[in-house]
Amino acid sequence: MLNDQITLVECPRDAMQGWAHFIPTDQKIAYINTLLKVGFDTLDFGSFVSPKAIPQMADTKDVIAGLDLSGTKTKLLAIVANERGARDAVMYDEISYLGFPFSVSPTFQQRNTNSTMEESAATIDAIQELCVKTGKEAVIYLSMGFGNPYGDEYNQEILLRWAAEMVAKDIRILSLADTVGVATPEQVTFALQTLIPAYPGTSIGVHLHSAPHNWKEKAEAALNAGCRRFDGALKGIGGCPMAQDDLVGNMDSELMIPYFRSKGYLSNLDDQALSESSRLAASVFQ
């Protein structure tokens, strides 16, 4: 058994946010409550964003009220898109992490958070200050981290520069996000092999949208490069509705878990609870 463990982040919020019809609040609560029993390190469960932009997440406050956190070690992460959302999120003791999507594509940053990159960088400062005051942790997603569909300038030096700026802000959890599923294993390897040794005090993870046929090569590249924080979603559902018309999908947790177990990780997950979560996912996402 390996000593260093995988931090597996399950992302029902990412799976739900672009779903075609509104998922009733009671279904969200029931599904997330089963996920809380599996043993995931973290659940990216909801968001405090404009209901006009992401109507599926308009009931996040009601979802929190229905969650049973007794007996679970799983921590909750909520996505925010501005300082107002962060101020709302930090009011909840149940939430441990505030996630903010910072895009290395200026077009996507404007589309996703209605702000420029410079304005968003200032928002991160405000979020970090709120987290410090309330005992929470900021998680910054470097979205469009491997390219974008808009023709915005991209190269890996841009990604590395913004990662350095986040670390300079004392951000201790960074996630490199392949928002539209364009990352190659070589890109993943280069970014992680550059960043992980350079910033040993920062947890650097990956949120790699991918199709069923190419998730494994990306996950393997990340693991071999030293990454130990991975995001996924049951059934591989999800993607960012603000990015493009077609949702690429998340890496499927039900495929990732046996893969990581074959490498000596994730022996502490509850298989019965995982099976129940999978059964519920099939009914929620239909």
- CATH number of the domain residue 174 falls in: 3.20.20.70
Q: Is 178 inside a domain boundary? A: yes
CA distances 173 to 35, 53, 136, 186, 286, Å, are 22, 26, 12, 22, 33
| Residue 2 confidence (pLDDT) | 43
Backbone angles phi, psi at 45, to 5 degrees: -100, -25
* The residue to which tokens 């932009």 are assigned: 53
Q: Is 1 inside a domain boundary? A: no
| Residue 213 confidence (pLDDT) | 81
| Residue 245 confidence (pLDDT) | 47
Residue-wise pLDDT tens for the chain (286 aa)?
344 699 999 999 999 998 889 999 999 999 999 999 999 999 999 999 999 989 999 999 999 999 999 999 999 999 999 999 999 999 999 999 999 999 999 999 999 899 999 999 999 999 999 999 999 999 999 999 999 989 999 999 999 999 999 999 999 999 999 988 889 999 999 999 999 999 999 999 999 988 778 899 999 999 999 999 999 999 998 766 555 545 567 899 999 999 999 999 999 999 999 999 999 999 999 8
| Residue 10 confidence (pLDDT) | 98
Q: Is 81 inside a domain boundary? A: yes
Backbone angles phi, psi at 284, to 5 degrees: -70, -45
Q: Is 54 inside a domain boundary? A: yes
Whether 154 and 144 have beta carbons less than 8 Å apart is answered as yes
Q: Is 227 inside a domain boundary? A: yes
> Which residue type is seen at 23?
I
Q: Is 2 inside a domain boundary? A: no
What total of structural domains would you count in the chain? Answer: 1
Backbone angles phi, psi at 191, to 5 degrees: -60, -45
Q: Domain residues for 207?
A: 7-285
